[in-house]
């Protein structure tokens, strides 16, 4: 399963939104990847997510497989929209 999001926060994905996203997915046992411009990182890794340097206006893809992948993606979508990080494509 995967979902795409557009990052709308003026600062892009800096430390605070990255932390919120990592905290949202960490409780899940399911693997989760964040992809941007052909690079994918483990979304449970704050350094991995920050290393992508995702600016405002970028489209990212979040993918997950396995048990609870649907719940994990729903949680990510909720955090991204309610925290003003971005919006679902």
- Enumerate long-range contacts of 8-13, CB under 8 Å, 24 or more apart: 8/56, 8/57, 8/84, 8/85, 8/86, 8/87, 9/56, 9/84, 9/85, 9/86, 10/56, 11/56, 12/53, 12/54, 12/55, 12/56, 12/58, 13/49, 13/50, 13/52, 13/54, 13/60, 13/85
Show pLDDT as tens, one digit a residue, over the chain (89 residues): 999 999 999 999 999 999 999 999 999 999 999 999 999 999 999 999 999 999 999 999 999 998 899 999 999 999 999 999 999 99
**Active-site residues: which are they?**
14
CATH code for position 23: 3.30.1340.10
Domain interval for residue 63: 2-88
Determine the pLDDT at residue 85: 97
Domain tally for the chain?
A: 1
What is the value of pTM for the model shown?
Answer: 0.94
């Amino acid at each position: 399963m995967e979902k795409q999001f557009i990052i709308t926060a003026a600062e892009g994905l800096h430390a605070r939104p990255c932390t919120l996203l990592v905290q949202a997915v960490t409780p899940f046992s399911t693997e989760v990847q964040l992809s941007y411009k052909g690079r994918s990182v483990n979304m449970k890794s704050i350094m991995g997510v920050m290393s992508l340097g995702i600016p405002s206006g970028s489209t990212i893809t979040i993918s997950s497989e396995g048990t609870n992948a649907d719940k994990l993606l729903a949680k990510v979508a909720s955090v991204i929209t309610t925290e003003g990080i971005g919006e679902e494509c």
